[in-house]
Chains A and B, each alone.
Chain A
Amino acid sequence: MKSRYTSLLVTLLVLAFMYMPIVMLVSQSFNASRYGGKWTGFSLKWYEALFNDYSVINAATNTIVIGLAATLFATIIGACAAWTLNKYKRSKLQTLHYGLVYAPLVVPDVLMGISLLLMFVSMKVDLGLTTVILAHITFCVSFVTFTVLARLQDFDFNLIQAAEDLGAGNARIFLKIILPLLGPGIAAGAMMAFTLSMDDFVVTFFVGGPGSTTLPVKVYSMMKHGPPAIINALSVIFMALTFTVAIAGQFLTRKKF
């Protein structure tokens, strides 16, 4: 019995350690005081100021456009890569492929950002939304691939053979068997890609050009001159969005859904 209470206590402490800052942030975003040193009353004025600030809206639009585009392409490429990696596991070429897909997971962001920037500059590509999307696809692909690959470990390939025996064509097998079974894995990968793209700062900063400021870049810069209360309000909305996507991703990775 005693150990149950100890573990409960430890769990609560860990949870408090992880979530207290977030609780503080959320409560401060409703504080009427600009700097939050004192509680001067409940107020929604920071949210109002936020929604009237067109540069924030602009940055939010950029973030969502980049997120959706990067997710779309990263999901397609990542799912195909996972399928190939799983199907030709034993070949040397795929071992190399595995290494290449794995690399972006461990390469530091700064390195990735600056090397992509150097590449775009040497290819004389104008920096802007397109380059940011390309960069985001690059790192999102790895995450999608590994999520889908994990799903493929449980995939029963006998089903495909059975379908072939019963006379199903490739298109039919793909639509009726592969997609429904892999769907949750692919969707979870897509959610992850979207969350990562939405949160990224370092890579975005380097490969971004005129007109591609995203929310994370905006928030960093707002620390210098912007009122902290607006940043709190923005962070709360941002966090709500990330949590929603992450929770949706969790539901999709469950076996039954």
Chain B
Amino acid sequence: MKIYKIISTAAIALAALMLWGCGPSKPILNVYMWSDYIDPELVQDFEKAHNCKVVIDIFDSNESMYAKLKAGGSGYDVILPTTYMAKIMSDQKMIDNLDHAKLPNLKYISKSYLNDLALDKQMKYSVPYMIGYTCVAYNKEKLGEIENSWNIFGNEALKGRMTLLNDLRETIGAALFFQGKSMNTTDDASLEAAKQQVIKWKKNLAKFDNEVYKVGIQSGEFLVVQGYSGDLFQVLDETPALAYMCPKEGISMSCDDWVIPTTAKNKDLAYAFINFVCDPKNAAKNMEFTCYSSPIPEARQYVSEENKNHPGMFIPDDLYKRGELIRDLGEDNAKYIKIWDEIKLSQ
């Protein structure tokens, strides 16, 4: 009889639900972060060392995570937003100021990252975890060495074989860098000039794209693409025909930071966790897992030989000087949205 089957399935579901209720009595650390962004072995090591259970939940964008927390969602002990979002959360008193006495490993964090780039230079409310940047990959087999500049997108010979990111801050930012401005400028004249620049570039592009460029550069359909370092270096590892460059005019960088929300229930464990991932040995493991860069120079001695000079994992200090983090511009964000619309509409 069908009905008995349905009832028995239901009973199993109910039993499973009951079992869920009575978990282990070990302390639990609830982490809220991006997917595939920490080595699972490290999490197990931490669980053993502190006799606790780590529960990792994930979000897909800073904005949705913020919306959820702002509406009252809680229960998380450590969160990993991007720098600009960490600043907003701190300004709104959603996260704690950090007690450095509980974080001895902060001494390993790169001074040049903090001085040249960070928004929270004293690590008052956040601890940097992983840095990525935007660079340009190109097909070396077909193009040979190319000039280390954003100017490549003005090359009409490559018409229809190049892509820029479909991301208003990154793409307008590239034009601003090319004209020697900051990618966070709110000056109308600079923005107007940047708009004209992107429109000029657009004529040579196949399209603005955030996803397909990885496949396109690998298959040879595209010859030059702007992309995120974490993605591009994975493609580069697989495809020897490709090379990359970080334009001399400037590049955009982004960093994800550990923060502790004011609603955290298990703050001691949260501090222990942040301290744990800042240990150079653990940072090295994490970098090899994610292909991103921890701002912890000491970690270099613990990574395997072939990765010691990996450009995704160890960012040269001069890139910090050329780099810039995307900031939240508050009401001025509207200016960027307006010129982005105009760029999209232009023929």
Q: How far is the CB of A172 from chain B (nearest CB, A)?
A: 15
Interface stretch of the complex, out of B51-59, B105-113, B195-203, B309-317: B51-59
Partner of B75, one of A75, A122, A128, A221: A128
List of A residues within 8 angstroms of B28 by Cβ: 210
- Output the nearest chain B residue to A37 by Cβ-Cβ distance: B218
Task: Please count how many residues in chain A sit with their CB below 8 Å of the partner chain's CB atoms.
Answer: 50
Q: Is the CB of A129 within 8 A of B20?
A: yes
Partner of A65, one of B16, B219, B234: B16
Q: Is the CB of A221 within 8 A of B17?
A: no
Whether, in the assembled complex, B341 has its beta carbon less than 8 Å from a beta carbon of chain A, the answer is no
Task: Encode contact with B along A185-216: 1 for CB under 8 Å, 0 otherwise.
Answer: 01100100000000000000110111111000
Partner of A218, one of B35, B40, B67: B35
Task: Please count how many residues in chain B sit with their CB below 8 Å of the partner chain's CB atoms.
Answer: 46
Q: Is the CB of A127 within 8 A of B34?
A: no
Whether, in the assembled complex, A34 has its beta carbon less than 8 Å from a beta carbon of chain B, the answer is yes
Residues from 2 to 40 in B contacting A, C-beta threshold 8 Å: 2-3, 6, 9-10, 12-14, 16-17, 20, 28, 30, 32, 34-37, 40
Indicate whether A224 sits within 8 Å of B219 (C-beta atoms), given known contacts A65-B20, A183-B2.
Answer: no
Q: How far is the CB of A251 from chain B (nearest CB, A)?
A: 11
Interface stretch of the complex, out of A86-94, A113-121, A141-149, A154-162: A113-121
Task: Kindly state the separation between the CA atoms of A178 and B66 in the bound complex, as whole angstroms.
Answer: 49
Partner of A221, one of B55, B60, B230: B60
Q: Is the CB of A205 within 8 A of B71?
A: no
Q: Which residues of A contact B (CB under 8 A)?
A: 33-38, 40, 53-55, 65, 68-69, 71-72, 75, 114, 117-118, 121-122, 126-129, 133, 179, 183, 186-187, 190, 205-206, 208-213, 217-218, 220-228
12 A–B contacts from the bound complex (CB under 8 Å): A33-B238, A37-B219, A68-B16, A117-B73, A118-B72, A129-B17, A206-B71, A209-B57, A211-B55, A225-B35, A225-B230, A226-B36
Which 8 A-B residue pairings sit nearest by Cβ, starting from the closest?
A: A37-B218, A121-B72, A68-B13, A221-B35, A210-B30, A220-B60, A226-B36, A37-B219
Q: Which residues of B contact A (CB under 8 A)?
A: 2-3, 6, 9-10, 12-14, 16-17, 20, 28, 30, 32, 34-37, 40, 55-60, 64, 67-68, 71-76, 214-219, 230, 234-235, 238-239, 290
